[in-house]
Structure 1
Amino acid sequence: MAVERADRDGRERAAALSGGGTPARGPRGRLDQPRTPRRRLLPDYDPEAFARFSERIARFLGTGRFIVWMTLIIILWVLWNIFAPEAVRFDEYPFIFLTLMLSLQASYAAPLILLAQNRQDDRDRVTQEQERKQNERSIADTEYLTREIASLRIGLGEVATRDWIRSELQDLLRDLADQGVLPPPEPGRGRDGSNRP
């Protein structure tokens, strides 16, 4: 009975996947095929291209060159609208059009600067994450090297040095001389006749 049920379930799944029947899976239909793209009312744009453009503008707005150009344009604007003949003036004394242009420039500059700052924050976050991982690797390498140096020190502590071997041999010669097997060594002279102990 269980074998027949498993066989029937397998046939139903195979038929559903091959297109013989569509299982009830909600509004999407089949899960093995991608969704059909939706139509959008707004045009598609590359957000990265727009963000790069806004960064360029924000960088320019933060330079002395922008301040100089802006100052020159405002001075020319005011001088033209004060001293030019009345027929060619386009913005009379309260300079309402100049105020409108400066407000418009400020209203676009603020979001562009914020967008550029957000992108910079994202880059800083990625850089900090990479630096954190690099620091973790450096700490792990330092700990490994510290353990290796400690094991080398322990290993060197067990190595017989020349002075230790010399002192052991001298003790052995004294013991043999005390037992009478060897003649006593001359005081202050080593076996090779030098003054080394």
Structure 2
Amino acid sequence: MADDEITQPKRGGRKQKNDRGDRFGEFTEMFARGMGTPAFLVGMTIVCGFWLIYNSIVPEDGQFDPERLGFPLLTLVLSLQASYAAPLLLLAQNRQDDRDRVQIEHDRMRAERNLNDTEYLAREVTALRMAMRDMATKDWLRAEIKGLLDELEEQRADDSRARDT
């Protein structure tokens, strides 16, 4: 089983001629992984803090997002980030779901093979046990040999009696 079979989601009925979808999907996963890190949260906090402090301390002529208007540019940037983050996170989650489905299918097939192998081995063990029951044991062989020896002794005794008479 190739590693790509698990890491790449199943494609629909049509094959794609280019990997733009995969590249975009990989980007969404990278984006989702990045947004879920403490470094991203600390970085965003620092950027927002710097933004707020700069636009509060600097004279109004030097502010790029005026405090008196309630920081409209910061609000716009954060809204834009949120509006793109939600769908990208959903796309990354869908890719993960697709990979999980492929993994579950592989696990199901592996479990089915293991079950078939186990059933085969159980049948083989049963056949060996049955064959062992039919196999001659030491005690049985001794009894048979003793019986044959007894018959030979009887026959010799009969032969010697027949010669004597």
TM beyond 0.5: yes
What are the ranges of 5 or more consecutive residues in structure 2 without an aligned counterpart? 1-17, 158-165
How many residue pairs were aligned?
138
Looking at structure 2, the residues matched to 66 and 146 of structure 1 have their Cα atoms a distance apart, in angstroms, of: 56
1:92 aligns with 2:66: yes
CA distance in 1, matches of 2:148, 2:101: 72
Deviation by residue 1:60-93 (Cα, 9 ceiling, x = unmatched): 1111111111111011011101112222112233
Are 2:100 and 1:124 aligned?
yes
Higher Rg:
1
Greater helix fraction, Structure 1 or Structure 2: 2
Structure 1 residue 139 and structure 2 residue 115: aligned?
A: yes
CA distance in 2, matches of 1:95, 1:163: 100
Counterpart for residue 62 of structure 1: 36
For residues 101 and 50 of structure 2, the distance between their equivalents in structure 1, rounded to whole angstroms, comes to: 44
**RCO (CA 8 Å, sep 6+): is it higher in 1 or 2?**
2
Q: Percent of pairs identical after alignment?
A: 49
Runs of 4 or more, structure 1, over 4 Å off, are 167-170, 173-176
Q: Does 1:48 align with 2:25?
A: no
Q: Deviations over 1:5-29 (max 9, x none)?
A: xxxxxxxxxxxxxxxxxxxxxxxxx
Aligned partners of 1:78 and 1:45: how far apart in 2?
41
RMSD: 2.6
Match of 1:187 in 2: none
**TM-score with structure 2 setting the length:** 0.73
Give distance in 1, aligned partners of 2:77 and 2:57: 20
Structure 1 residue 153 displacement after superposition? 0.6
Residue 156, structure 1, aligned to residue 120, structure 2: no
Secondary structure of 2:65 counterpart: coil
In the alignment, the residues of structure 2 paired with residue 70 and residue 146 of structure 1 have an alpha-carbon distance, to the nearest angstrom, of 61
